[in-house]
Structure 1
Amino acid sequence: MVDLDATQLDRYSRHVIMDDVGPAGQEALLEASVLVVGAGGLGSPVLQYLAAAGVGTLGIVDDDVVERSNLQRQVIHGDADVGRPKVESAREFVADLNPDVTVETYETRFDSDNAADLVGQHDLVVDASDNFPTRFLVSDACTVAGVPFFHGAVYRFEGQVTTFSGDGPCYRCLFPEAPPEGAVPDCSTAGVLGVLPGTVGCLQATEVVKWVVGEGESLEGRLLAFDASAMSFDEVPVNRNPDCPVCGDDPSVNSVDGVSYEGRCSLSD
C-alpha cells in the first residue's frame, strides 16, 4: 500500500476526511492504472479529474493533433498546442496538475493490433472515443479481457454514459452493430455543444473514482441519457444478451485479432 506523505495528505485532504473514501480509498486511487482512449472532448475532463483525484497511472492513447476547432470543448489543450500531438499536450497538462500521476502516452490509433496489449496493461479503461469502430473495439477487447470500461458519447445537445464490468452485458448487448453510414453525423458535421463533453466526461470520471474506491452504485446495467437542451436525465436498462457473440452464453469471439472494425462492425456467430 502507498503511505500518504504530508503533501499528499494536504492535496487529497477532502478525500481523506470522507468516510466513504478515507486514506485507504486515496491509496487505492494512487495505485490504480486507467487507460483513456481518446484525448479530445470526453478525454479532456476525464483526464483532468482523474489526475486531480490522484489516479496513479494514466495511459493516454490518441493519434490525432490539436486543431483550433477542438478548443471549444477540448479544455486540456490550448491555443499554443495547435498542431501538437494531443497525447503530448495532455501529458503536459496532467504533469502540471498533479506530479503524483505517471502518464504513459501512446501516439497511435487504438486498433485491433494493439488493443489487447494496451487493455492488458491497465486496471480500467475509459472509452472517450468519437467513432463507432473504436467503441466496438474497446468493448470487445475489454469484455474478452474481463477489464471494466466506462463508455461515454456526445451528439449536439445529447450525451450518454454507462459502465460495463467486463463480465457482461457489453456494448454489443446495447448496440449489436453500428448504425448505417451517415445516419449519425460526427461532430464536424452536426456540431456539439461545447460544455456537453464536460458533463458526460465528468460522469465517466465519477464512475471510475467510485469503482476504484469501492463506494456507491455504478451505472452497470443502466444507460444514463442526458439532454442538455431540456436539462433532463433518463435511464435506459441495459440487459445482457445471451446470444451476444462476445459476452453471451456461447461466445464466438475470444480475441479481437482478425476481427474487422469497419462499416457497421457486425459480428457473425
Structure 2
Amino acid sequence: MNNSRYIRQTVLKSFGTEAQQKLKNAKVLVVGAGGLGVPILQYLNAMGIGTLGIVENDTVDISNLQRQVMYAEGDVGKSKLDVISEKLQQQNSETKITGFATFLNRENALEIIKKYDIVIDATDNFPARYLINDACVILNKPFVYGALHEFEGQVSVFNYKNGPTYRCLFPTMPGSDEMPNCNENGVLGVVPGIIGNLQALEAVKVITGIGKPLAGRLLLFDGLQQQYQQIRFQLEPENLKRTVLEASYEAISCKVPHLISADAFISSLDSRETLQIIDVRTPDEFETFHFEKSKNIPLQELAQRWGEINSSQPVYLVCQSGIRSRKAYNFLQKEMDTPIYELEGGINNYQHYAVNS
C-alpha cells in the first residue's frame, strides 16, 4: 500500500493507518453502476478499498450522462461494467475490481453476496432492495441503502450488528401501481452524487468503526430546501429470523403479465407480421427513439385514449424499462379481451440485446 497516497486520511487522529488498513482489507459489493453507483465507486476506489465488486448488466445511454458522471459521450452504447471497471483501474491500480455482468436475482444473490463484507444498494427499484435485504439477513451482512426521488434522497444502514433491517422500515413491497418511476418522475442530476457520497461515507464508517453509522435511522435529504432530517425506527426481531429467500421478488400485481423477450420481439419485428405496438412513454421519449409504425399513447393518457387501440389485433406494450408497460397492462387487461403482451425489460433491454446479439 502506498502510504503517501492516503496521507490526507491517515493524518486524521481518529482515522490513522489502522483504519486505512481496514479499508485495504475490505471487500465491498456495489449493486448498480448508475446514478448512485458511480459516486460510490469513485470515492471508495479513491479512498483505498481493497476489493470492489460491481453488479451491473446495463449499457450507457445518452440520458445517463446528466447524472452518471463517470461516463462520456463516447461510452454511449457500451457496457457500463466494462467502462467503469477500466476507469476505476486507471484511477487506482491497487484496487481489485471484480465485475458481475448480470442483474442481481434470486438465483445468484446469495452466491455473489457471500464473498463480500458489506453490500451497497445502488439500484433504483423495490424488488432489488428486498432481495438485497433478505440475502444480507441470511448471510449476516450489513448493507447501505440509498434512494432518490426528484430533488430528494434517503440513506440508511440495515442489518448492522443485528440491528434493524429494510423490512423493519418497509415491511412489504408496494404494488406495481404504487411504485415511483424515475422515467416519469425524474431526478435532478446532482442529487445522486450527494446521496451516493453519503452512502460511501456510511460504508467507510461501518468498515473502519469510526463515527456512528445510520443504523436504525433514516436520513432524509431535501435538495430544494437544503435540509436534512432523521427518522428513527426500531428492530422487529422477526425480521432477523429469515433463512431462505422469497419464492419471487416481483412486484405485487393482480395478474401476471404476458412478457415477450427481447429476442422474440426482434424476431417478430423481422417477420412479415404487422405488430400493433403501443408505446406508453412520453412524447419526448417517443421522438428520441421508437419502433416503426408504433403508436404513442402516454401512460397518463391511456384511460382516455385506449379506444384508439384495435381490439381485433394483439397488443404489444413498450416503455423504457418495463415499469410503465406493466401499469398499462394492468389497466388494459380489464378493458380488452384481445391478447396483450409486454416487451420484457422495455426498450432498455431491447437495445442491450440488439447491441450484444
Name the counterpart of 2:168. 173
> Cα 1:102–1:25, aligned 2, differ >3 Å: closer, same or farther?
same
1:91 and 2:85 equivalent?
yes
Secondary structure class of the residue paired with 2:221: strand
2: distance between equivalents of 1:135 and 1:63?
A: 17
1:159 and 2:153 equivalent?
yes
Deviations 1:141-190 (CA, angstroms, capped at 9, x unpaired): 00111001000000101100000116231101111122232323321111
1: distance between equivalents of 2:89 and 2:166?
A: 32
1:21 and 2:15 equivalent?
yes
Secondary structure class of the residue paired with 1:14: helix
1:40 and 2:29 equivalent?
no
Point out where structure 1 has 5 or more consecutive residues left out of the alignment.
none
Name the counterpart of 1:225. 220
2: distance between equivalents of 1:24 and 1:208?
A: 16
1:261 and 2:249 equivalent?
yes
2: distance between equivalents of 1:255 and 1:181?
A: 24
- Letter of the 1:140 counterpart: D
Contact kept, 8 Å, 2:163 with 2:216, in 1: the verdict is no
1: distance between equivalents of 2:141 and 2:38?
A: 22
Contact kept, 8 Å, 2:163 with 2:215, in 1: the verdict is no
Contact kept, 8 Å, 1:161 with 1:204, in 2: the verdict is yes
Q: CA deviation at 1:212?
A: 1.4
Point out where structure 2 has 5 or more consecutive residues left out of the alignment.
254-357
Matches within 5 A, 1:1-269: 4=1, 8-164=2-158, 165=160, 167-242=162-237, 244=238, 246-247=239-240, 251=241, 253-256=242-245, 259-264=247-252
- Letter of the 1:55 counterpart: I
2: distance between equivalents of 1:166 and 1:64?
A: 33
Higher relative contact order (CA 8 A, sep 6+): 1
Root mean square deviation, CA, Å: 1.4
Ranges of 4+ aligned residues in structure 1 off by more than 4 Å = none
Contact kept, 8 Å, 1:143 with 1:166, in 2: the verdict is no
Q: CA deviation at 1:86?
A: 1.0
Contact kept, 8 Å, 2:155 with 2:220, in 1: the verdict is yes
Contact kept, 8 Å, 2:39 with 2:193, in 1: the verdict is yes
Name the counterpart of 2:351. none
Contact kept, 8 Å, 1:149 with 1:166, in 2: the verdict is no
Secondary structure class of the residue paired with 2:119: strand
Q: CA deviation at 1:221?
A: 0.6
Deviations 1:47-90 (CA, angstroms, capped at 9, x unpaired): 01000100010000011111010010111211111111111111
Contact kept, 8 Å, 2:126 with 2:173, in 1: the verdict is yes
Deviations 1:102-133 (CA, angstroms, capped at 9, x unpaired): 10000101001110011101011000000000
- Letter of the 1:232 counterpart: Q
Q: Which moved more, 1:52-61 or 1:8-17?
A: 8-17
Identity of aligned residues (%): 43
